[in-house]
Amino acid sequence: MSDGALVLFSGGQDSTVCLAWALARYDRVETVAFDYGQRHRIELDCRKAVLDGVRARFPEWAAKLGEDHAVDLSALGAISQTSLTRETAFAFARDGLPNSFVPGRNLLFFGFAAAIAYRRDLKRLVGGMCETDYSGYPDCRDDTLKALQVALSLGLDRRLVVETPLMWIDKAATWALARELGGDPLVDLVVESTHSCYAGDRTKRHDWGYGCGECPACELRRAGWEKWRAGR
């Protein structure tokens, strides 16, 4: 049986590094995207550029890169609209969570991913969740994902492994991991083609890529880049 992986691939920096990580390890790698009308639909457009870039620049990986799946989760978009009401905004503030939080998003993502992995005979689910410099999302926690692995494996009666290669590293180490996995061509691909900015800005180009340069996602990406460059 082939040792295959399904990567939760949004087109952002983290999931792109996870894709490379999986391609470096496993025989067969497929990708999945969840479209729930999020404000940075632009990130989903970046996916194609990254996948094309992998196929063009990394022949060994291109041979292992299989189908790309898209799941329409517009229902999740409808639920997350409630974050715009005053009461819910208050609840998030009280819990110390950012307003951008879509409750339980990863629980749903992994449920759908597991169903696809089952049908595609892929053993591993790979995601870019991270506890190191995360925003407090409880569904990104290592314990949450380990519990999900158990629940999904039991519910499908099939051994599934949830892998999160970025869980314990910071953004500087994520840049370093990209370099280690794919050298400068992969770092270039991450800079040019991945998207992190909450504002969806792709008009301003910085050393670390495109973005408004002001939002928390840009700040995290820039700080990680600078820390990594300073340490090289």
Binding residues for Zn ion, rule: CB under 5 A, are 197, 199, 211-212, 215, 218
Count Cβ atoms within 10 A of the Cβ of residue 35 and give its class: 0-12 exposed, 13-18 middle, 19 or more buried: middle
Q: How far is the CB of 216 from Zn ion (least distance, A)?
A: 8
Using the minimum distance from each CB to Zn ion, give the nearer residue, 184 or 207. Answer: 207
Residue 66: Cβ-neighbour burial (10 angstroms; 0-12, 13-18, 19+): middle
> By the 8 A CB rule, do 50 and 193 touch?
yes
Taking phi first (over 0 means left), then psi (-120 to 50 degrees means alpha), and beta for anything else, what does residue 134 get? beta
In whole angstroms, the minimum distance from the beta carbon of 20 to Zn ion comes to 23
CB nearer Zn ion, residue 29 or residue 197 = 197
Position 148, amino acid: L
Least distance between Zn ion and beta carbon 11 (Å):
15
Contact status, residue 183 vs residue 197, Cβ threshold 8 Å: no
Q: Which is nearer to Zn ion, 151 or 212 (CB)?
A: 212
Among residues 46 and 197, whose Cβ is nearest to Zn ion? 197
Nearer to Zn ion, 16 or 149 (CB): 16
**How do 124-126 and 4-8 pair as beta strands?**
parallel
Q: How far is the CB of 88 from Zn ion (least distance, A)?
A: 24
Closest CB 100 distance from Zn ion, rounded Å: 12
Segments of the chain assigned E as strands: 4-8, 28-35, 65-72, 124-126, 161-163, 205-206, 209-210
> Is the Cβ of residue 15 or residue 196 nearer to Zn ion in the bound state?
196
Categorise residue 157: left if φ over 0, alpha if ψ from -120 to 50, beta otherwise. left
Q: C-beta of 163: minimal distance to Zn ion in Å?
A: 28
